[in-house]
């Protein structure tokens, strides 16, 4: 089945407007070599080591698409702490004429803040209660992983742009596999996903476009050539050997310090 027209074809960095590539965020690997980036009409992943800039890029894409920097739908307008970079102001989007009826920015590290804002707005009673959209149990009365899964199962309904930053952070391996099923249902209903992740389980989504970020820049790679897949495969295939190699390299600490 051919996917529908995407909401976002791609994006690029306006290099001529960048003040300096020696300053953050333009100095990080994901941004420094950023050219024209094409997105898959259904699912695009960005992977890379900690500090490679994938979360910075995902955050900027979300802000450029008018989502709150801390997460939520486009109707959220709150700030716990202003921490997002200026990158969004230097991105240029290649959008289609198709308009989304839904959308969400899930930022793992600040979803607690989104749940707090939902609770606050519902207590103020200024309009329709938001909490029930996430299920019968309030988000703050669930574990971190349960609240993530409540968002995925109750709040999202497809025909929307979903930008996720490390959604696997609170999900068990089983829940990550369940997330693949939920993603497929949403994609079948016209959703487009852009996801930064470390999860080799999520990266296995069929026919997804995967960009791997290294110190040399960003390039599309097949699933089985991602570092995340290869490292996980090698460890699980030979855990004793891998542990031997890893732990033999760790110096034994024999000194004692007073507390």
Q: pLDDT per residue over 186-198, tens digit each? A: 999 999 999 999 9
Q: CA-CA distance, 218 to 83, in Å (whole number)?
A: 24
Query: Residue ranges of the domains in the chain?
Result: 8-221
Q: Could you report the per-residue pLDDT of 109-136, keeping only the tens digit for each?
A: 777 777 787 788 778 776 678 788 888 8
pLDDT of residue 248: 78
Q: How far is CA 75 from the centre of its chain?
A: 19
For the chain, give the percent of residues with pLDDT over 70: 91
pLDDT of residue 259: 46
Q: For the stretch 150-169, what's the b/e string if a residue is b when 16 or more beta carbons lie within 10 angstroms of its beta carbon?
A: bbbeebbebbbbbbbbbbbb
pLDDT of residue 3: 66
pLDDT of residue 255: 55
Residue range 8-221 forms a domain whose CATH class is: alpha beta
What is the arithmetic mean of pLDDT over 84-108? 90
pLDDT of residue 168: 92
Q: CA-CA distance, 214 to 40, in Å (whole number)?
A: 20
Name beta bridge partners: 103: 161
Q: Report, in this order, helix, strand and coil percent for the chain, each rounded to 5.
A: 40, 20, 40
Contacts of 155 (CB under 8 A, 6+ apart): 104, 133, 134
What is the arithmetic mean of pLDDT over 130-158? 87
> Which one-letter DSSP state was computed for residue 214?
E
Beta strands across the sheet bearing 91-95: 37-38, 8-13, 91-95
Q: Is the pLDDT of residue 221 over 50?
A: yes
**Of 1-10, 145-154, 206-215, where does mean pLDDT reach its minimum?**
1-10
CA nearest 70: which of 163, 132, 143? 163
Number of H helices, E strands in the chain: 7, 9
């Amino acid at each position: 089945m051919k996917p529908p027209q995407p909401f976002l074809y791609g994006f690029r960095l306006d290099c001529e407007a960048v003040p300096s590539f020696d300053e953050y965020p333009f100095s990080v690997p994901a941004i420094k070599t950023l050219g024209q980036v094409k997105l898959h009409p259904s699912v695009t992943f960005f992977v890379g080591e900690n500090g490679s800039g994938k979360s910075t890029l995902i955050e900027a894409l979300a802000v450029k698409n008018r989502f709150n920097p801390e997460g939520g739908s486009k109707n959220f307008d709150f700030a716990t702490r202003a921490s997002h970079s200026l990158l969004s102001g230097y991105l240029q989007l290649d959008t289609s004429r198709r308009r989304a009826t839904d959308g969400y920015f899930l930022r793992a590290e600040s979803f607690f803040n989104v749940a707090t804002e939902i609770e606050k707005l519902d207590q103020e009673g200024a309009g329709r209660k938001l909490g029930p959209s996430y299920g019968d149990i309030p988000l703050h009365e669930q574990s971190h992983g349960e609240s993530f899964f409540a968002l995925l199962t109750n709040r999202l309904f497809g025909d929307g742009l979903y930008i996720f930053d490390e959604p696997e952070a609170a999900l068990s391996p089983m829940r990550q596999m369940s997330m693949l099923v939920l993603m497929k249902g949403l994609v079948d209903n016209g959703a487009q996903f852009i996801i930064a992740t470390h999860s080799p389980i999520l990266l296995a989504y069929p026919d997804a476009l995967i960009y791997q970020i290294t110190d040399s820049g960003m390039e599309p790679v097949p699933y089985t050539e991602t570092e995340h897949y290869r490292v996980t495969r090698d460890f699980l295939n030979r855990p004793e050997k891998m542990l031997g190699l890893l732990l033999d390299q760790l110096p034994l600490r024999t000194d004692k310090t007073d507390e």
